[in-house]
């Protein structure tokens, strides 16, 4: 396959030139008093909401409230939002092909502003793009949108701008977004369900582990142990947890029939699905029976027997659901592609980077943990265009510790897109809120998924300055100091580890405590002080690590007890539910207090 180069996909982000007539002029968007926002009578809910969002934020920026009408009573001074006969008369229908569900077009010229896009999300995304790029609006968090006053003249255009997002599946997996469909829509994260006014979510589902429910041992293990993996001469048919303790035998013909029937039943129950997963459980216990082993040895990877099985399911699905894709994980033991088996055209590969280093860019040739992943992605790129990425972006063992990976978000997403990824799942603290700098990280991730041409550093600085105001400089200094420290230490670590694994020592702990103390002193409002307090949880998490590991003596415990109290109080105040991916704050509290001798 000829893969997309960086230059090619950057072209999709550009402004398409508009051929200007001699007398065309731009529009002073600071002076729209007397203009009308025009919606088609048949506008869908997301287009109505797009008009309401434009009106609300324009009023905040200028003090001018614009009327929303369903029928224009004039030929100019119009803001046309969403497809309509009036819009088509004004700007034409652009390309002959229908726009994709998130494609957008913005036209500004001669007493006209027009924002239109594919259904259901294109027009709404077009409004957010105009607000950001021409009014300076920034959607920072669910409760903080920066709307600068628009007072001086600001002429936009003439322009005719189109945008086709390079990723059709985008998920910045933080609780802050998962819990707020409104914020997800504003950040153009298209994977969160919610009110239809937010444009819904993509029909593309995340490809994940499925064999545990498609062929469970509880249903088949007793009577048919031969359906399950053979390991060390024993079939893994008598286990307590399918997900972590067994895999099916993928060359048994009954297994193919059982899984296919489960898939077809699920599609019958959900006819709107665009894809479905047929994928390994979360373990490395693939079947070693002679038949499975023969395929895997021939193909040089356990992905051999898995992909042959998935292809067979996909063939049967194609007969009844020709538009549905069948997805499987390329994960852990199955990450390496097979030598000769190619995915069917309706098979999707979800390539996972769980072994990779968080500290260095995914394509850093000096990082041994990352080199093999890039080789595998290149090899998959020769076999299929249907590649999706599952990337890991937090320390799953310790959500609240500083994590030195802010700088790699931009190069990683750019690498995935440039090498043909169709969608990216950026897994982070999705089952929690208040994880280490989660508001900042969510903002950076979501913006880069929508537009990978943006600067990650610029997004970091923008968020810090707008969200923390005068308190931003010490927070920025700590972030830079910590990242530089980890690079200087030559640290290579994946997404699971303790404080020491990520270079957190006494010097980093003190720097963190000092930085957030300075930031609190500089916070000039109660709102900013609260934001800094929430962000400071990561510094306290560093400081209490000796208690988490277990204090050396009673004196050490006495010294650290006030810090533990402050840490727990802050987590309670800012409603942080999870200490780690599989550990609640209540469980963490009990451990900390036990180590202090308080329980």
Architecture field, domain 211-443:
Alpha-Beta Barrel (3.20)
Whose CA is closest to 502, among 576, 363, 399?
Answer: 399
pTM of the model: 0.94
- What's residue 91's pLDDT? 86
Q: Helices 303-320 and 290-299, interaxial angle, to 10°?
A: 100
- Does the domain at 6-164 match CATH 1.20.140.10? Answer given as no
User: What is the mean pLDDT of each successive set of 10 residues along the chain, which is 599 residues long?
Assistant: 33 40 79 95 97 98 96 91 89 73 96 96 98 98 98 94 97 97 98 94 96 98 98 97 98 98 97 96 98 98 98 98 98 97 98 97 96 97 97 98 98 98 98 98 98 98 98 98 97 97 97 98 98 98 95 86 97 98 97 90
What is the distance, to the nearest Å, from the Cα of residue 187 to the centroid of all Cα atoms in its chain?
A: 10
For the chain, domain boundaries = 6-164, 211-443, 468-596
Residue with tokens 């046309």: 80
- What's residue 11's pLDDT? 33
Instruction: Give the chain's length.
Output: 599
Q: Give the Cα separation of 429 and 431 in Å (integer).
A: 6
- What's residue 507's pLDDT? 97
DSSP string, 460-519: HHHHHHHHHGGGHHHHHHHHHHHHHHHHHTT----S---GGGGT--HHHHHHHHHHHHHH
Dihedrals φ, ψ of 230, to 5°? -100, 120
Positive or negative torsion for Cα 298, 299, 305, 309:
negative
Dihedrals φ, ψ of 140, to 5°? -85, -50
The helix/strand count (H/E) of the chain reads as 23, 20
DSSP string, 44-90: -HHHHHHHHHHHHHHHHHHSPPPPEESS-SSSSSEEEESS-HHHHHH
For the chain, the distance separating the N- and C-terminal CA atoms, rounded to the nearest angstrom, is 61
Token digits of residue 96: 């002959």
What is the distance, to the nearest Å, from the Cα of residue 513 to the centroid of all Cα atoms in its chain?
A: 30
- What's residue 18's pLDDT? 43
Cβ neighbours of residue 46 under 8 Å, at least 6 residues apart? Answer: 119, 120, 121, 123, 124, 196, 197, 198, 199, 200
Q: Give the Cα separation of 439 and 428 in Å (integer).
A: 12
Cβ neighbours of residue 164 under 8 Å, at least 6 residues apart? Answer: 12, 100, 102, 103
């Amino acid at each position: 396959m000829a893969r997309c180069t960086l230059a090619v996909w950057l072209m999709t982000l550009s402004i398409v030139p508009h051929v200007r007539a001699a007398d065309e002029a731009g529009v002073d968007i600071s002076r729209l008093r007397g203009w009308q926002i025009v919606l088609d009578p048949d506008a869908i809910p997301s287009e109505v909401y797009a008009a309401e969002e434009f009106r609300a934020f324009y009023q905040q920026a200028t003090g001018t409230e614009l009327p929303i009408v369903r029928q224009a009573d004039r030929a100019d001074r119009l803001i046309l939002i969403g497809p309509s006969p009036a819009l088509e008369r004004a700007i034409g229908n652009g390309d002959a092909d229908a726009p994709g569900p998130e494609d957008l077009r913005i036209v500004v010229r001669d007493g006209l502003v027009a924002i239109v896009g594919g259904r259901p999300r294109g027009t709404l995304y077009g409004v957010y793009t105009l607000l950001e790029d021409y009014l300076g609006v920034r959607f920072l968090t669910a409760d903080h949108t920066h709307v600068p006053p628009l007072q001086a003249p600001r002429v936009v255009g003439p322009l005719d701008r189109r945008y086709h997002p390079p990723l059709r599946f985008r998920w910045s997996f933080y609780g802050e977004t998962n819990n707020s469909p409104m914020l997800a829509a504003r950040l153009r994260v298209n994977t969160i369900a919610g009110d239809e006014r937010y444009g819904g979510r993509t029909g593309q589902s995340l490809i994940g582990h499925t064999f545990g429910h498609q062929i469970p041992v509880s249903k088949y293990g007793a009577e048919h142990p031969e359906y399950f993996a053979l390991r060390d001469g024993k079939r893994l048919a008598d286990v307590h947890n399918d997900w972590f303790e067994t895999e099916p035998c993928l060359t048994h013909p009954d297994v193919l029939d059982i899984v296919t029937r489960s898939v077809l039943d699920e599609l019958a129950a959900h006819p709107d699905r665009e894809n479905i997963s047929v994928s390994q459980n979360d373990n490395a216990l693939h079947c070693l029976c002679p038949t499975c082993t023969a395929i895997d040895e021939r193909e040089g990877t356990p992905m051999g027997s898995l992909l042959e099985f998935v292809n067979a399911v996909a063939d049967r699905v194609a007969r009844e659901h020709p538009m549905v894709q069948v997805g499987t994980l390329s994960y852990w033991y199955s990450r390496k592609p097979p030598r000769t088996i190619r995915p069917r055209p309706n098979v999707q590969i979800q390539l996972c980077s769980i072994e990779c280093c968080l500290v260095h860019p995914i394509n850093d040739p000096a990082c041994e943990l990352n080199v093999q992943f890039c080789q595998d992605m290149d090899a998959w790129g020769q076999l299929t265009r249907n590649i999706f990425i599952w990337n890991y972006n937090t320390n799953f063992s310790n959500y609240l510790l500083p994590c030195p990976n802010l700088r790699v978000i931009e190069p990683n997403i750019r690498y995935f897109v440039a090498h043909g990824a169709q969608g990216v799942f950026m897994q982070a603290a999705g089952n929690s809120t208040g994880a280490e700098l989660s508001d900042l990280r969510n903002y950076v991730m979501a913006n880069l998924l929508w537009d990978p041409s943006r600067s990650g550093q610029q997004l970091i600085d923008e968020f810090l300055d707008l969200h923390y105001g005068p308190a931003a400089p010490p927070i920025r200094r700590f972030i830079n100091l910590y990242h530089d420290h980890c690079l200087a230490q030559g640290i290579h670590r994946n997404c699971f580890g303790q404080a020491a694994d990520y270079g957190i020592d006494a010097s980093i702990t003190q720097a963190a405590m000092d930085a957030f103390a300075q930031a609190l002193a500089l916070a000039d409002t109660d709102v900013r002080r609260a934001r800094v307090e929430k962000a400071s949880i990561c510094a306290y998490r560093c400081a209490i690590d000796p208690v988490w590991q277990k204090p050396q003596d009673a004196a050490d415990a006495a010294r650290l007890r006030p810090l533990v109290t402050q840490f727990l109080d802050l987590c309670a105040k800012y409603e942080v539910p999870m200490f780690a991916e599989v550990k609640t704050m209540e469980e963490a509290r009990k451990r900390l207090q036990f180590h202090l001798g308080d329980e």
